[in-house]
Every structure is written in structure tokens, then in C-alpha cells.
Amino acid sequence: RANDGYGLWLDYQAIENPTAKSDLSRLYSGFYFFGQSPTYDVIRKELELSGEKMLGQSPVFTSERLAQTQVWLGTREELSQVLGLQQQTSIKELGEDGYWRGPIGFQGKTYYAIVGNRPISVLYGVFDWLRSIQTDSFDQTAEKSGSPKVKLRMLNHWDNLDRTVERGYAGFSIWDWHKLPGYVDPRYLDYARANASLGINAVSLTNVNANARILTTDFMKKAKVLADLFRPYGIKVFLTARFSAPIEIGGLKTADPLDSAIIDFWKKKTDEMYSFIPDFGGFLVKANSEGQPGPHEYGRNHAEGANMLADALAPHGGVLIWRAFVYSHELDEDRHKHANLEFEPLDGKFRDNVIIQVKNGAIDFMPREPFHPLFGAMPKTNLGMEFQITQEYLGQATQLVYLAPMWEEVLQSKTYRPTPSSTVAGVVDGSDSDQKLTLVAGVSNIGTDRNWTGHLMAQSNWYAFGRMAWNPDLSSGEIADEWVKMTFGKDPELAGKIKEILLDSREAAVNYMMPLGLHHIMGRDHHYGPGPWVTGGRADWTALYYHQADSLGIGFDRTASGSNALGQYAPEIQNAWSDPQEIPEKFLLWFHHLPWDFEMRSGRTLWEEIGLHYDSGVKSVRQMQETWASLEGKIDPARFDHVRQLLAIQEEEAEWWRNACLLYFQTFAKRPFPAEIEQPT
């Protein structure tokens, strides 16, 4: 059967190396569980699947005669009860999600053990072990331990109750609300396995542009089924709460967060939710943003809105996630500044169980943005990161763009606050901040398409998101390496070439779409393809607002002579970036309006440099195509052809972007294109 990509990175390629195979085969001949848990049943199933696929062998699970076993699985406590073992006490320090795996000597024999602080972390240890086998890095004599740096590692689905998906490019929502609670699609379990294999431990099922019906009893019963299925995989369910729900489903006249009837409504709703899902994660809220209802309607601020919901969740241990994606051009001329203006004054005013979820940049998931200036600016507030895995502004389902280099760039950015060496990763994972409740969220790219993500290669973005949420300091290169080997096999030449394609793809997209700090110049509403000419309606929805091209030059002056959004960053950044000679050129036009003949570091003019960037983006795509073509015969024809066809579309689209943007900007610059580029027509 043709490989349709359904198996994701859990497809478990057959092991060919005879020594590795016989070693592993021995291990698969005797698994021993020291305790019982529904999560151990999940592990058993994964061992069955992986044994069949990697070795053509069913694992043996024994319950007696320890001496005949090979692999031990259990929690630290379970192991020490049976064996009286006191080693591995350090595992305890790894926290509830931490695990240890390695050899244990007992009564003259060595066993391979995977030990966690609770059953879920044994599962994490098993997935880590399976990953090491698939990537050829398993050494049974070595010890390895792991634990996540972030507490909530979460997918945000923008899925509507009618199964359409906002900004979804992989079919419809996998949540079949119509058939729930009676019918359980087996796909739900494969979804849970995939997430658990990465350590993703929370999912918000519904769109942040929320429908209040999800909070009705009927829908709670449906959500309960999913929560029950996900529990053994360590995944908690969250739902989006529409702020005006008291009016829409509660028959009340207001949604004022300080009104006692409203407080009571949310308390009862929340209690009811917990009666169905005792470990319900909490609510995710988009309020007073893009027309969504919120506390402002009643003259209340974000903290008053968020805290009211947080108080309803607190007795149950629930978390309230409140988004900082708020903007207009009314509060300030520059939309960029809006979130800081509204949220910074509220620092320290949110309850302990509130997390403010902040997009990686201040505008909106652009191909490249400087990090959001809220990171580092609210030391007394839990700040979570929101990435977008779905490629709204990065080619949607037709383009291959590996997003991990972008996330890495953001996470490793220095904020210089709260300490001089702080980074975004350090703020978010709490190592540079005091925050206890930490969160990395990603807007899901999953849908009903057989291969889950529309573009097969977009599976790498789901994978990379999960890995980075677990450890924000992992590099995009090592993650690519893992994913490629797990998805396409370990042939070094093949793996090397696919990795090269992945790692070049994001810079290619930036170049042919929005190089040198250009942003928000895409097609209106659908956000597909170029639209630097977009005008009309709200100023901050036009393109001209962002690129500001005129006969003199191009770019948005956000320095002190302009909007001074730069003033929202730490002084170190302000100093360096306010100088067009010093700012990294990748952010040049984000912060500066410069003449077309401005001299770039290459010695070329700005106009020439823009042309070269657009053109090099197209050339990179052609290089990706060539590299892919060289893999013909080394990848199964189904997957080979899928990617080949999409790369051909991507080439056309890259040319479209280049030609459209350059021809449009030329109407202002009135200069010829650099001779060395393919001339746009």
C-alpha cells in the first residue's frame, strides 16, 4: 500500500542492522511492568506496534519470574517497593514528568529500565527510547534522563463546532461533534499517541473565536469522551470560553465580570464542567480582540475579566489562559504598541492561575517578526508563548516551510529583561523569571486529511513544535534530524538532503514574501499570496500602513522619530536597533523608513537589495526542487510525488510573490531592477 503519511513519525521503520536488530529483539522478548495503570496499556500497545514494524516480532510481556525479563517499566516508587532499590533517587528531582532510562544491575544480571515519577512519565521515557532507536542513537549501556522545561505544552485548535477550521489547510476538524459522544473515531487515539510522543500535555479543542454552545451540557458530554480518551496519554482538555456566554446560553442581560449573577453563572458552569471532566484543564479566552466580546464592554479591564474566570477555576485547580492578541489603531497610531499599552499596566494584577498567552511577535505570525516586547516587560505575570503551527502567512498547504528555525530565532532572542542575560526562552520557561506556571502553545495544523497536515512536510512543524515546547532550547537542526530519520529512514544521504531542504525553507519563504523586515503585505482576508497594494477599510488592515512605500523610500519608522514602538523594548535593544547601520538587516524595514538609495552593508542600495532578496527566495525554492528530484527512487513514489508536485506549486507562488511585490514597489522606487536578477514581468 502506498505510504500516505498517516503514521506520522511513529511509523517505526524496519531495523536492518543485524546486531542492532538482535539486541533489540532480545529486549522485546521480556517486558516487565512493576505496576498497573491505563497508561501502561497505552505503552503495551505502542510496544506491540513498534515491535511488529521494527522487528516483525510481538513483544513478550511477563508478569512473573523477574530473572527472565529484559526491560523494566514502572514508576520510581513501584520499582523500589518490589526491589527495595534506592538508586535513581535523582529521578525524583526531575519533577512529575521526569523519567530516567538505563541499565540496572540486580542479583547478578543487568536489566534495561525505564522509570518515571508517574505512569505518564514512564510513557515519555518509552517514547524517548523509541525515538533513540529510530534515530540510531540508542545505547543500552548509557543512562539518560529527561524532563520538560515547560509545564503546559499545548495545542490550540481553531476548530469550529461545524467542523470548519479557521486558518486550517488540512481538511476539516478531526473532532466529529455531530457523532460524539456515541461514536469514537479511532483517529482520536492516534492523535493522542502522536502528541504524547512529543510530550504535548494539553489541547484546547475549539476556536478562540468561540461559540458559546461548547459550554452547554450537551457539548460537555461530548468533550468528556475526548478527555477520557486522552487521560492515559497525559493530555488535558481545555475549551475556549466566549466572554458573552452568560447572555448567549445563560439568558442573562449582561456579561459584566463584576456582576454577581455573572460570577455565579461562570462558577456554576465551571463546576458543571468539572463534574464531567474532573481534571479539566481550564479555559482559553480571546477577548476584546477582532470583534470578540470582552470586559471592555462593561468598562472593565483584562485583569478584571480574566480574574473572574480564574476564580471560578481555582477551586478545581484549573488554569485560565487569556490572550494578549489585542490591537487597533485607535489606542495608538501603531498597532504594534497596543498589547504593551494595555497589558503592562496590569502586571502583578492577574491571579496566580492566569497565564497571558502572547504571540511570538507584536503583529501577527508574520514570516519574520522581532520577538514580542511583552516578553520581559511583565515580571509579575505568567506569560505563555503562542506560536502558529498552521501556515496562515507561510504558504498555507502548498508550501514547504519548516518553522522551527523561526521559533528558535524567537526563543533565543535576548530580551535583556528581567536580567541582562535573559532570553525569550528563559522568560517563558521560568528560568529567567519567577513564573511557576509556564506555557508554550501552538495553533494546530491538524485536520482530516489522511496525512493530518495537508502538506506531508508540515508534519515536521507539529513535531518540532512539540519538541520545542518540551525544551525551548533544542535546536531546529537537531529536531529536523530526528524528524527526517523517523519519517523517511536513516539513510545518511537521504536524511542529509531532506534536512537541508527543511533548514533552508524558512529563509527562502521570508525572502520571496517579506524580506528585510517587510510585513503584512499579503492578500486581504484569506492571507494567501501577495497583496502589498491592499487598501480600504481599517487602516491597520491595509498593506500600505505597514510598508509605507512612497517616492522617497520604504519601511515603518518605529524609532523615536516615528511611532517609537522600539521604546517598548529594553534599552539595549533600543540603542542598537534605532540605528539603521546597527540593526540586524533582517529587521531593517520593520523599524526604519529609509530612502531607496540607502546604502546597505553589501554596498548595494536598499532597492537593489530588496530585489536580490526576492529573487534569491525563488532560487532557493528551485534548489529545494532540485535536491528533492535527486531523491527519486530513494523515497516511496507516493510521498515522493506528493512533495514534488507541491514544490512545483511553491516555485510558481514564489515567482508570483517576487514579481508582484517588486513590480508594485517599482511604481514608487522608479528604478530599474538589478541586472543580476530574473526580471519580473
Task: Count CB-CB contacts under 10 A for residue 581.
Answer: 9
Site string for ligand GCW, 647-666 (x = CB under 6 A): --------------------
The answer to whether residue 12 forms part of the interface with ligand GCW (CB under 6 A) is no
Shortest Å, Cβ 469 to ligand GCW = 18
- Closest distance to ligand GCW from the beta carbon of 388 (Å): 7
Name the minimum Å distance from CB 359 to ligand GCW.
7
Contact of 300 with 255, CB cutoff 8 Å: no
Q: Which of 118, 167, 236, 506 binds ligand GCW (CB under 6 A)?
A: 167
Which of 533, 572, 538, 540 lies closest to 556 in space, CA to CA? 540
Instruction: Let me know the angle formed at the C-alpha of 47 by 45 and 51, rounded to the nearest 5 degrees.
Output: 125
Of the two residues 290 and 572, which places its CB atom closer to ligand GCW in the complex? 290
Handedness of CA 158, 163, 165, 170 (dihedral sign): positive
Q: How far is the CB of 191 from ligand GCW (least distance, A)?
A: 21
- The residue to which cell 528604478 is assigned: 671
What is the helix (H) or strand (E) element at residue 75, kind and residue range? strand 71-75
Q: How far apart are CA 26 and CA 19, in angstroms?
A: 11
If binding is defined by CB under 6 A, does position 529 make contact with ligand GCW?
A: no
We find the least distance from the C-beta atom of residue 443 to ligand GCW, in angstroms, to be 7
Measured at the alpha carbon of residue 578, what is the angle toward residues 573 and 579, in degrees to the nearest 5? 115
If 0-12 CB within 10 Å is exposed, 13-18 middle and 19+ buried, where does residue 120 land? Answer: buried
List 87, 209, 254, 666, residue binding ligand GCW (CB under 6 A): 209
N residues, the chain: 681
> CA–CA separation, 415 vs 359, rounded Å?
15
- Sketch the per residue contact string, 426 through 455, with ligand GCW: x for CB under 6 A, - otherwise: ------------------------------
Among 256, 392, 409, 557, contact with ligand GCW (rule: CB under 6 A):
392
DSSP reduced 3-state for 210: coil
Q: What is the set of active-site residues?
A: 290, 364, 392
Nearest-angstrom CA–CA distance, 382 and 619: 43
CA 579 to chain centre: 33
167 vs 547 by CB, closer to ligand GCW: 167
Q: Which amino acid is at 271?
A: D
Q: Which is nearer to ligand GCW, 167 or 222 (CB)?
A: 167
What's the one-letter identity of residue 71? V
Selection from 427, 515, 514 nearest residue 472 by Cα? 427
Residue 75, C-alpha cell as written in the block: 514508576
Residue 286: CB minimum distance to ligand GCW, A? 5
SS3 254: coil
Residue 322 lies near ligand GCW (rule: CB under 6 A): no
Nearer to ligand GCW, 336 or 613 (CB): 336
**Measured from the CB atom, is 290 or 641 closer to ligand GCW?**
290
For the bound state, the minimum distance from the C-beta of residue 325 to ligand GCW, rounded and expressed in Å, comes to 5
CA 167 to chain centroid, in Å, comes to 14
Element (H, E) at 371: none
User: Between 158 and 628, whose beta carbon lies closer to ligand GCW?
Assistant: 158
Torsion 286-288-289-290 (CA) sign? positive
Q: Does 190 bind ligand GCW (CB under 6 A)?
A: no
Indicate whether 159 belongs to the interface with ligand GCW (CB under 6 A): no
Least distance CB 660 / ligand GCW (angstroms): 20
For ligand GCW, the closer of residues 506 and 592 by Cβ is 506
Choose which of 11, 166, 228, 491 interacts with ligand GCW (CB under 6 A). Answer: 166
The reply on whether position 528 binds ligand GCW by CB under 6 A is no
Work out how close the CB of 366 gets to ligand GCW at its nearest, in angstroms, rounded to a whole number: 10
By CB under 6 A, name the one of 9, 158, 483, 614 that touches ligand GCW. 158
From the list 435, 490, 484, 429, the residue with the least C-alpha distance to 460 is 484
User: Total binding residues for ligand GCW by CB under 6 A?
Assistant: 12
Restricting to residues 279-318, which ones interact with ligand GCW according to CB under 6 A? 286, 289-290
Q: Check binding of 325 to ligand GCW (CB under 6 A).
A: yes
| Selection from 185, 280, 296 nearest residue 235 by Cα | 280
Q: What distance in Å separates the CA atoms of residue 614 and residue 609, rounded to the nearest whole number?
A: 9
In this complex, which beta carbon is closest to ligand GCW, that of residue 373 or of residue 580?
Answer: 373
Question: Would you call 207 helix, strand, or coil by DSSP?
Answer: coil
Pairing between β-strand 439-443 and β-strand 553-554 as defined by DSSP bridges: unpaired
Residue 413 makes CB contacts below 8 A (sequence gap 6+) with 370, 371, 423, 424
Compose the 355-374 pattern: x for residues touching ligand GCW by CB under 6 A, - for all others.
---------xx---------
Residue closer to ligand GCW, measured from CB, 325 or 470:
325
* Residue 100 binds ligand GCW, judged by CB under 6 A: no
CB of 332 to ligand GCW, least distance (A): 19
Residues 6 or more apart whose Cβ sits within 8 Å of residue 248: 212, 242
Q: Which residue number, 224 or 337, has a Cβ lying nearer to ligand GCW?
A: 337
Determine contact, residues 147/125, Cβ cutoff 8 Å: no
Return residues touching ligand GCW (CB under 6 A).
158, 166-167, 208-209, 286, 289-290, 325, 364-365, 392
